Structure 1
């Protein structure tokens, strides 16, 4: 007989892995045991060589749905083993090297049980098993045992104990298992604290009552798995407007939830890949193309103003399934927070902060340990594009490319907007869930809390810290403090180099590969020359980069005000390209010129000429803002980041985009500035203003701009490729959230036989920045 110790690493705790090991070991006639520890799962088996080989093969083939095996290591067991059967042993504490599973949407079996009147889980809103339910949102420590979660305060009843201990049951060691008798309970409250009586409305229970309230046009705060949502009937314009006014979120699109795919199909077209995403265990928000003619109950116009897509998700907890059982139309389900603050997660906070927004509150008594927002995804050209990585995906690790296996623990702090941080260890990167914009004090506090939780969960002791070069980013300041306090190496990483490195790592480019050409387009990032970059062509590997080309820098009039007031960018672009008197003489009758003439142009001109609060930027994000304002989109002000560019993308004339000659596209100049290539938008503005004079529709102008910009980017790549050996081209940065630009550039570059790499599992925006910071710091560590 052979005795082996088998070490399994990966996502193997809290996902039904040990019961699977038990079942397969018994089927193969093996004796021994299996247990969890800090590194994953340890299996000791005694049997013939053939039976152990069969066991290993079946373990890989029949891995549970939420599990992921990264590594199986086998060795002869030298100790004594005296088992006459196969058993599951208690967890062992050791150095943490295992993974934490993301929260997972309700599985088919649990959904059937909550609607089965003969099941003891009938209408129980916290039903779960090893195949579904909360994970990251409830965990306090590793190993993933009930005592280390927010379920510790709920003592199992006899029936739940029986299932928890029954290795043949799918709830065997499902840490959040509970029922009506012993588990968390949901309760409905009025936000004005007045009592609720049964006579107010007919209801099966408090959860069912929420459906009635939504159908009546009320706003309800709902405590879910990783935070609080605000809900209302998405077809009720009055209710949606009321929610916008109370929340002070006036334009940013709301997310939607519908009971099933059939309801979503009334409003949107759904491809096979989009359907697969909606129905996956991650259950993200998926951006879908709206149908021209929708249901007799159309979506309220205020749900997604200025958009041609809707963000839909399916119910991902029993609570949601029960609420929507009688709801034959979509509901708004948006983050329960005050404007720009993080999502509320505890009951008192909800009562205090959301009591003036929601009419009713559906709360429960299970603590949310870890705030986890909904993930957002879209399909662009048959490829997944992650926009916000959170519930369902974080903190699943990202396996790093060859060459990154033996580096010390590194902590990367991320950026200022759409922040995530990253822990690098053992050839893997653990990217946190989306944490929001740190300029808000509450968001920064939540960022620090989550960072501490991750460092403790994973017992991660950084030997180096990576930050963004921007001196005013709060994440960078905190990183400097941590590095100084712990006397460890600090790496300041250039923003766009980090974007490019993140995309390289995601796409598996090995550490010592030749440089790639990275085209990083975004709002802005701190440059090596102390200006604000945002339209960059960098020749880069993981250690170094060289700036080969850029967009012509233009002043950001008023500094940060230019981010929120797009007209400032139009003004700066026109001032940079023309003499203002010439503009007035030739185009003075245009609406945009009349608008700008009403601004204090003399003062603005002096501000620019004296470089007062008008930093130069090569930002393509600001160029999008300028064009949008010129054609009448968000001219005066944006109420959320990227609004002008997003609404211009939605406006694009699809027929012109796909069917007209390249010669009709707007052209840009390519020249030399500061000894590198430079793209100048002067000719584009000349033609655009002429088109406005000719009263060409804004939708056609938007199409000509997108196509012309893509064409110019490819022309620049062509020039660079003649002087450098380029195999891989990286497209990264927040501007590439624009699906039209991404596809236009990608298809044109592929015609040049270039290998075009984009983002899929992490965001192209600043939500992916920390991964790039981490791998650059690792690559530079031994220089």
Structure 2
């Protein structure tokens, strides 16, 4: 008889709640191995015992046949004395004081569950909470690790005998699927209807689950606005094909022009609204089910100015149903649905029905709720395909929490608190970085409460207490103020601040595990510079420890400070003042000048001369605003980035013919916009396409000065698909590092901050 050997395996990654233990059970049975497997706070621990050849075959097969949602980030294998196990068992979770297992994101309903929900003979026919280990809620229902039912919001629902049998059967797709439920033992829907015009008068209606969905759908067909509970929060839903309903939602939500996301029943409905290639179809159908930004379809494209869903732009954001309830909803509706986050302006998505009815009672007509608590709110992710690659614009449901494995173990746990817009958090401990889902802009008390709650969530997940906190250099960012308050209460904590655009570059380095020298082109709206001015169009010569600013945009004044970021006409007027006298500006035939009264121009000229509430800025985002103003595309912004989207729409409609001549020059480390402005002042035609191409060429000119370095492209301006697709072919002979799993915008700032920390650096600025 051949001698048996034994090994212990400690496996880290997304290995809980994804069918990993029954997978190991089946694998061990296949190779005749004995031992056990169990969850703990660090991941999965298993002991396997048997003949050497069988153990080797087990280890080779382990990573090759993973369950759909599982991911192995690291594995330690040690040989131990054989104990004489007689079978292979799945044991109950083991508790220790070391919490570090990755928390899985929420995942869209899988095809197997969808088929069961559609089968009249299945006991879960029409069940709006069907799930298995391959799909459904994870992050949104978990309180702490390990991911076991008592640690989730499903703890309040005792399993019936049939569900319990599936839950305990290693051969079942629902073995230890923590949200397992059926119509007999699971959550139930609740339908709330407003009973009067008063905001607070609501009553709940009883009925069969299907009839409650039908009631909500009937109200939508009638042009009403219904709040529907999703995985990570509520959506405000109305008929996207009903212009009056969409206008009512805009009016009630005070959202005059910002595009709405649209949920479509299937790909056929999606193609009636958008042009979709193979890569975009795959992204729409992926298990993450993000909102995907797509080119509008003809003839829909011809009406972009008056389009109530996404006015003035040629893009539309579409997503497919991702919960059982969404699929059941479309049984009663054959129209596209507006599905926008339920929140007030600049506040986080609402996750509780009571709060929803109190805050949005004047916006909605009814609520389709349910009694499974959302523990952790989570917005929809947003993505687009650029040059054949997925670019994430918001990292949330389906993607985050995002875990990145480090190539070393760090001694001190770190917390990076990110920026003030599109905020996320990043934690670093042991040998991993964890990026939180999108939190949002930190401009309200509610947003800061959400920020603080998210910090506590991850502290609870991992028994995490930071010894180092990293924040932005901007003294008035709410995230920095939070960090300073934390430091005041915990004096032993180290606090470091990093320049905003350097953090953008570092985030890309983190994704590529890059610490050496690189040339980073970082273009965005605004960021606090090391010299106290507003930066936003930076070329940084940097590594993981420091940076030098080697090029930037010629600075200009923001007339009215923060107000100028919402009014392109103010920035354009300041640029006109740079080149013309007051009387010449007043006499100019320009859309910018026409947007003001003469008295306003005189007052603003005085402010410009004195520099009163008119800080200097070198922002590429504001240069987009200037072009939009001077060419008459827009003088006021309804949302961040609107001028860039309008320019993209304009660039795709008009060619570059007639645009010969230099628009931007590079002199002494500055991108100079004066040639562009002079041509527009003279009334010459400059297309949006030519403007974007000139920007791409300026990047190439900077890159040519550093031919041996990889080029990093990051910052919110690189969400501009047209710009990125212009510049990449021009850099085809260079190594270009782009964001892969995180966004190019400020959602990546926390990752960059923490990368500086884990790289062992001692100073935040040169």
Q: Could you say which TM-score interval applies, normalised by the shorter chain?
A: over 0.9
- C-alpha distance 522-48 of structure 1, shift in aligned 2 (>3 A): same
What's the CA shift for 1:472? 0.3
1:689 to 661, 681, 690: 681
Distance across 2 between alignment mates of 1:335 and 1:782: 41
Residue by residue, what CA displacement relative to the aligned partner does 1:556-584 show, whole Å, maximum 9, x if unpaired? 11110101111111111111233333444
Distance across 1 between alignment mates of 2:145 and 2:186: 22
Distance across 1 between alignment mates of 2:757 and 2:402: 21
1:485 to 489, 493, 507: 489
Distance across 2 between alignment mates of 1:207 and 1:491: 51
**Partner secondary structure for residue 600 of structure 1:** helix
**Partner secondary structure for residue 482 of structure 2:** helix
Query: Mapping of 1:288-687 within 5 angstroms?
Result: 288-294=294-300, 301-400=307-406, 402=407, 404-486=408-490, 487-509=492-514, 511=515, 513=516, 515-585=517-587, 588-596=588-596, 598-635=598-635, 637-657=636-656, 660=657, 664=660, 666-672=662-668, 677-687=669-679
Structure 1 contact 235–299 (Cα < 8 Å) conserved: no
Q: Which has the larger displacement, 306-315 or 483-492?
A: 483-492
Size of the aligned set, in residue pairs, is 753
Q: 1:235 matched to which residue of 2? A: 241
What's the CA shift for 1:300? 8.5
> Is 1:222 aligned to residue 208 of structure 2?
no
Residue by residue, what CA displacement relative to the aligned partner does 1:160-214 show, whole Å, maximum 9, x if unpaired? 1111111111001000101111111011110235667799xx9942123322222
- C-alpha distance 484-298 of structure 1, shift in aligned 2 (>3 A): closer
**Partner secondary structure for residue 618 of structure 1:** strand
Residue by residue, what CA displacement relative to the aligned partner does 1:60-85 show, whole Å, maximum 9, x if unpaired? 1211000001122211224x735311
1:759 to 723, 730, 739: 739
Query: Mapping of 1:689-768 within 5 angstroms?
Result: 689-690=681-682, 693=683, 696=685, 701-718=687-704, 720-721=705-706, 726-750=708-732, 753-768=733-748
What's the CA shift for 1:655? 5.0
**Partner secondary structure for residue 604 of structure 1:** helix
Which consecutive unaligned segments of at least 5 residues does structure 1 have?
Answer: none
Distance across 2 between alignment mates of 1:655 and 1:563: 27
Q: 1:91 matched to which residue of 2? A: 93
Structure 2 contact 102–403 (Cα < 8 Å) conserved: yes
Distance across 1 between alignment mates of 2:675 and 2:128: 60
Distance across 1 between alignment mates of 2:5 and 2:133: 31
Distance across 1 between alignment mates of 2:127 and 2:303: 30
Distance across 1 between alignment mates of 2:304 and 2:624: 31
> Is 1:139 aligned to residue 142 of structure 2?
yes
Structure 1 contact 415–468 (Cα < 8 Å) conserved: yes
**Partner secondary structure for residue 292 of structure 2:** strand
Distance across 2 between alignment mates of 1:712 and 1:670: 7
**Partner secondary structure for residue 773 of structure 1:** helix
Structure 2 contact 427–433 (Cα < 8 Å) conserved: yes
Structure 1 contact 240–300 (Cα < 8 Å) conserved: no
Q: 2:198 matched to which residue of 1? A: none
Structure 2 contact 107–137 (Cα < 8 Å) conserved: yes
Query: Mapping of 1:157-236 within 5 angstroms?
Result: 157-192=160-195, 193=201, 204-236=210-242
Residue by residue, what CA displacement relative to the aligned partner does 1:354-385 show, whole Å, maximum 9, x if unpaired? 22211111000111000000000000111111
Residue by residue, what CA displacement relative to the aligned partner does 1:130-157 show, whole Å, maximum 9, x if unpaired? 0000000000011000000001111111
2:61 to 58, 63, 75: 58
- C-alpha distance 156-432 of structure 1, shift in aligned 2 (>3 A): same
**Partner secondary structure for residue 656 of structure 1:** coil
What's the CA shift for 1:482? 1.8
- C-alpha distance 240-71 of structure 1, shift in aligned 2 (>3 A): same
What's the CA shift for 1:744? 1.7
Please, what TM-score do these two structures have when normalized by structure 2? Answer: 0.95
Structure 2 contact 655–687 (Cα < 8 Å) conserved: no
What's the CA shift for 1:295? 11
What's the CA shift for 1:777? 2.1
What's the CA shift for 1:93? 1.1
What's the CA shift for 1:590? 3.1
Distance across 2 between alignment mates of 1:300 and 1:503: 38
Distance across 2 between alignment mates of 1:341 and 1:665: 45
Tell me the C-alpha RMSD between the 2 structures: 2.2
Distance across 2 between alignment mates of 1:301 and 1:680: 36
Distance across 2 between alignment mates of 1:599 and 1:562: 18
What's the CA shift for 1:298? 11
**Partner secondary structure for residue 561 of structure 1:** helix
Q: 1:270 matched to which residue of 2? A: 276
Please, what TM-score do these two structures have when normalized by structure 1? Answer: 0.93
Q: Which has the larger displacement, 133-142 or 285-294?
A: 285-294
Distance across 2 between alignment mates of 1:687 and 1:297: 30
What's the CA shift for 1:654? 4.5
Residue by residue, what CA displacement relative to the aligned partner does 1:469-505 show, whole Å, maximum 9, x if unpaired? 0000010111122234321211110001100011111
Distance across 2 between alignment mates of 1:270 and 1:589: 42
Residue by residue, what CA displacement relative to the aligned partner does 1:327-360 show, whole Å, maximum 9, x if unpaired? 2221110001112211111111111112221111
- C-alpha distance 619-326 of structure 1, shift in aligned 2 (>3 A): same
Residue by residue, what CA displacement relative to the aligned partner does 1:392-441 show, whole Å, maximum 9, x if unpaired? 000130234x5x54453211000000000100123322111111110111
1:148 to 148, 151, 154: 151
Structure 1 contact 571–596 (Cα < 8 Å) conserved: no
**Partner secondary structure for residue 278 of structure 1:** helix
**Partner secondary structure for residue 69 of structure 1:** strand
> Is 1:770 aligned to residue 750 of structure 2?
yes
Distance across 2 between alignment mates of 1:176 and 1:189: 24
Residue by residue, what CA displacement relative to the aligned partner does 1:623-644 show, whole Å, maximum 9, x if unpaired? 1111111122331x21211222
Distance across 1 between alignment mates of 2:305 and 2:89: 55
What's the CA shift for 1:727? 2.0
